[in-house]
Structures are given as C-alpha cells and as structure tokens.
Amino acid sequence: MVNLVALQMTSTPDVNENLAAVSDAMADASIAPDSLVVLPECFACFGGKDKGQLAIAEEKGKGPIQAHLSQLAKDYQCYIISGTFPLQTESADMFSAACMLFAPNGECLADYRKIHMFDVSVNDATGSYKESRFTQAGNEVITVSTPIGNIGLAVCYDIRFPGLFTAMGDIDVLVLPAAFTQKTGEAHWHALLKARAIEKQCFVVAAGQTGTHANGRETFGHSIVISPWGETLAELATEKGVVKASVDIAQRETIKQNMPVAEHNRFRSHFV
C-alpha cells in the first residue's frame, strides 16, 4: 500500500512563511515512509505580483526552497512533489515554473517545467491572466519510475490538454499541483481530473491553492485523490490542510486487464 498525500495551502508572498506552513502540515499529518506528498502550484510564493517571482527564482540544485524540500523528504523518508516554484532561466526577465520530485534520500529525481501557460480571461476579481509574461514554458514531457510506481508530472492548466497525458505512456500516478481559480474550478476541476484518471487508468493526486490571497486572487481548493476508475478516494473542500488515501497501486492491473484501453487505442501519440 502507498499513501498518496496532497497539501492544500493558502500561500502568501512570504517564502519563509510558506516553507514553515509545509513543515507544519507534514508534521500534523504524520507522513509515513514512502508516501507520495504533493504540494500546490506556486506553493513557495503566491498572492503578490507575478514579476515578484523573479526575485526568489533559484538556480537548479541551489537555494533555500530546494534545500528545504530535500531535507523534508529525508526527514520523512518520503517522495515530495514540489508543487511549483520559480527557477532561473537564461533570461533575467523570465523564470520557469519548476515541478520537482524529491526522493526519500533527498535527491531530485525529476524536474518538470510547466508547459501550458495560463493566458486567459476569467469572470472573476482578477479578470485577465497572462502567465507567459514572466514564465518561460517548458517543452519536455516528464515521467519517472520509482519503487512506488511510475509517476507523471503536470501542473494546473496542463490538465486541459489530453495530448500531454497520452504522451506520458503508462503511468501509475498522475500528480497535479494547481492554483485553479474559483470560477474555473467550480466549472471544470472535478470533470477534468476524473477524465484524466479514467482515460489513463491511473491514480490522480491533485493539490490546490485555496481561499483568497494577498492580491485578491481567489483559488478553488478541493485537493483530491482519485482512483483509476474515477472514484473520489479523499477530498478536502476549502480549508487548509492535508488530504490522503492509502492505495494499492496493483489495483490498476485488474482494471487494465478488464478494459485494455491502451491496447485498443487506434490513435496513439507518436510519443508512445
């Protein structure tokens, strides 16, 4: 059995405050060894101006955010998905939204950069979002094989693009750090996550931001763990905290044998 865990946060623009919140939440949740813990998108800094992310952007392999998560992974002997935090790029005016997987020994096993930029209009207090103004989009599909299963990494707006998940091939767990807006979350959050779980026949762990943030942005919350059959195994509504479910990854094999969707697919991605 594997514990799948999502942390739901109302992150602030203060990095130290957010790192402390992660530490406190993990301590309160009594994280077991070999758990998979997923943090929300922008967990380390959220609710300020997007350009402010540039000031805290780290070099890969260096910096207090990465060091803190690496140490937590070692302390709890667990796997941690870093949500996202800003990493430096070759441009001084751009950062990338990095989603890293830290192993129980503290090593970084995977580094996914969010591919799809949230450049949209939403009928909420913020109104217009243009993530690409300061965020450099990634271009690489990332999956990683671990002792607890094959893990696919994606972030927030990525969930709307099924081709990304087809390109991942066979995965046991899809992780999705997110900061869905209140409006789009109400409309599409559950439907999109369950669709990905059902079509990939995999577990989904989605960790979200929640509540009203310092800049007035409203996020949806509803962090959730979903089964390969599309069932909700655990969910946290709008409060801050931790949601977790103990699952048998091997359950996927029975589902895939009974309904071999991947084998039947006549429109395979050239990545598969």
CA distance linking residue 210 with residue 224, whole number of Å: 13
Q: Which of 41, 194, 200, 244 is catalytic?
A: 41
Q: Which of 42, 78, 99, 156 is catalytic?
A: 156
Q: Are 36 and 204 in contact (CB under 8 A)?
A: no
State yes or no: is 41 an active-site residue: yes
| CATH 3.30.450.30 applies to domain 2-264 | no
Reduced to 3 states, what is the DSSP secondary structure of residue 138?
Answer: coil
Q: Are strands 79-81 and 95-102 parallel, antiparallel or unpaired?
A: antiparallel
CA distance linking residue 82 with residue 44, whole number of Å: 9
- Residue 86 has which token pair? 């800003």
Q: Which of 78, 114, 194, 218 is catalytic?
A: 114
State yes or no: is 114 an active-site residue: yes
pTM: 0.96
State yes or no: is 199 an active-site residue: no
Encode the chain (272 residues) as per-residue pLDDT tens digits: 999 999 999 999 999 999 999 999 999 999 999 999 999 999 999 988 877 899 999 999 999 999 999 999 999 999 999 999 999 999 999 999 999 999 999 999 999 999 999 999 998 888 889 999 999 999 999 999 999 999 999 999 999 999 999 999 999 999 999 999 999 999 999 999 999 999 999 999 999 999 999 999 999 999 999 999 999 999 999 999 999 999 999 999 999 999 999 999 888 655 54
